[in-house]
Amino acid sequence: MNWIKELLNNAIELPENQKANLVLKAKEGDKKSKEKLLLSDIKLIYKFACEICQYIENFEHLEDAVQFLIEIYLKTLLSYSKDKGTKFSTYVYQALIWGKQEYIRRNRSLFNTEKNHDEALDKKTLSIDSPIYDDSFSLLEVIPAKDELGNLVDEIAYEQMKEKIFRELSKKNEKLALVVLRRLEGKTLKEIGLELGCTKQRVNQILKENSAFLREICMKYL
């Protein structure tokens, strides 16, 4: 655990434009740039690791969770490019959300309760600041959490933004708009499927088939 404390004590803050430059150098093999980027996001990595431990109700796995998320972070760093249409920080945030979900899925035996893991994970990890589906962490969030936007928007502007996004989704596909809305309300794929009269696999397929459109809408309003 000492190595984690050392990383946290050496954490730094970097502006987005500086991160972009460091990413380019890191991808060329510059170790110092990679270290700086890691230190700039180590608090975020630690936050997600703590959320994992809170979920499985066992903080003995904190070190392992941090290590796992660091590996995800470094892989994300190497795969990032401006062509993905999003900032590095947003791309990393999505990767860590995916990493949190993936760690829990891989370590279901760590649960201390006898709850249904599939349903519990579906509900617990899906919130307004989680990916709509977890097959690809590169997909932008449709609607980010209000606190993630900080002071950029107030409550009224945030609700207006959500309304515009859902209006756009409804123009293309009312069923898609309903699926997204229900997911952000915390409904599981199975629950949405029951409402729509289809399987949870079909609900997930609807999201996958429209991933490009969801990304386009996100970029338009965020």
pLDDT at 149 (0 to 100): 45
Low-confidence ranges of the chain (pLDDT < 50): 113-143, 145-153
Residue 159 φ/ψ region, left for φ over 0, alpha for ψ in the -120 to 50 degree band, beta for the rest: alpha
pLDDT at 179 (0 to 100): 84
Predicted confidence (pLDDT) per residue in 115-132, tens digit: 444 444 444 443 333 443
pLDDT at 49 (0 to 100): 92
Sequence-ordered list of residues with C-beta below 8 angstroms from that of 53, at least 6 positions apart, any chain = 59, 61, 62, 65
Q: Which helix (H) or strand (E) holds 40?
A: helix 31-56
Q: What is the DSSP string of 45-97?
A: HHHHHHHHHHHHT-GGGHHHHHHHHHHHHHHHHHH--GGGSS-HHHHHHHHHH
pLDDT at 158 (0 to 100): 57
- The upper half-sphere exposure of residue 16, i.e. CA atoms within 13 Å in the direction of its Cβ, equals 8
CA 171 centroid distance within chain: 26
Distance CA 49, CA 70 (A): 10
Hey, is 105 helix, strand or coil?
Answer: helix
Distance CA 29, CA 191 (A): 47
pLDDT at 128 (0 to 100): 35
Considering the entire predicted model, what is its pTM? 0.55
Q: How many helices (H) and strands (E) does the chain have?
A: 12, 0
Distance CA 27, CA 198 (A): 44
Q: In the chain, what are the domain boundaries?
A: 1-125, 140-222
CB 221 within 8 A of CB 164: yes
CB 47 within 8 A of CB 96: no
pLDDT at 135 (0 to 100): 40
